[in-house]
Amino acid sequence: MEGKAEFPNLLAGIKVLDFSHVQSGPTCTAMLADMGAEVVKIEPFAGDQFRQPMEGANFFNFNRNKRGVALNLKTKDGKEIVLKLAKEADVLLENFVPGAMDRLGLGYEALSRLNPGIVYCSISGFGQSGPFRDRPAYEPVLQAMSGIMDSTGEPDRPPVRIRPAMIDYCTGANSAFAIAAALFAREKTGRGQRIDVALLDVALFSMSPYVTQFIRRGELPERAGSAQPSGGAIQNFETRDGLIYVVAGTDHMWKNLCNALNLPEVGNDPQYATRQQRAERRVKIAEIINNETRKYTSQELETKLLAADVACGKVRNIGEIVQESHVQTRGILEEVDYPTLGKIVAVKTPLFFSGKSAPFRRRAPMLGENTGEVLKELGYSDQEIQDLIKKGVALQYEP
């Protein structure tokens, strides 16, 4: 995988220390690594807690293109190694509970004195300030607290979580953007930045329209299953073999949908003439449309509606979408070899530059796989490295 140099490595030469674990932080640093940054992931001897679940599927996807070092940060020598790394680093990212890095002597104030140009990014559940500051948090907790869960699901059923960790993904992307902006500013000022990114803030940002509407009118978002309450014919419809999602929100698409389903009289009915009218009658509309869509297979209906310029997509599972020729053509999937599992398929960062996507230059590291290599680059001799390993300061992966 080494040597895939055709991709424009826009962050080449940028050195990143990654103290993050689980998903939001690793997503951020994976994106930076994909753009060419040199990322060193620092783990405790127990390893990132996402090395085990789903056979490590999370870990493989969000720790690619990084080198891995395992250190005991509770030792004086372990902290000394980190300080040497930080002195040369451009970026440090961590996602511990606020104050944890300060207690280790590795907080922003300490490291910015050592390296004034460092961009220090902290991801946490609730931010570095506020009454919730010290609370631990994971993605589902933030979905529950932010109103996302309360607005998701069927109206007559309890709230449900969104299955993908969308807050983590969005937090990682926001953090990567903030770091890139801080590096850009550093070119002018020579100074780094202290970046504070909170999962709750990101979750509320995603709920912005609903926050605005509630504060303005006291209206909570309606739990409506697959439907969009602000319009009719925007939901899943039934077919002979599954479901198809249709978005016929505009007047034009509404008429196109009705014509495609041989319902011109419904499309021209004045009681459905506007989006607001269709929203008010969406349950009745769903009944009318479902009576027609059940006559087709989902693939037949998708083809028919797309030909009529109606936005739609059959509800596919993971197995179906990854086999689609479009996904294969885009090249967003890449197969890599992993020592303990053999060949695995992972998803690349969804960004294309000059028609090229970021390759997997490195698979995700085994725990402590690059410890000796990184320590040698810091000036430690082979004997000193072995002594650090024997003293329980560092851990080196051995195949």
Q: Active-site positions?
A: 168
Can you give the C-alpha Rg of the chain in angstroms?
25
- Secondary element (H or E) of residue 70: strand 66-71
Cα 387 to Cα 377: distance, rounded to the nearest angstrom: 16
Q: Which of 32, 26, 34 minimizes the C-alpha distance to 1?
A: 34
Cα 121 to Cα 95: distance, rounded to the nearest angstrom: 8
| HSE of 235, CA atoms in CB hemisphere, 13 A | 26
Cα 52 to Cα 340: distance, rounded to the nearest angstrom: 12
Q: What is the DSSP string of 338-391?
A: ETTTEEEEEEPPS-EETTEEPP-SSPPPPTTTTHHHHHHHTT--HHHHHHHHHT
Four-CA torsion 267, 273, 275, 277, nearest 10 degrees: -110
Cα 176 to Cα 31: distance, rounded to the nearest angstrom: 7
- Beta-bridge partner residues of 247: 234, 311
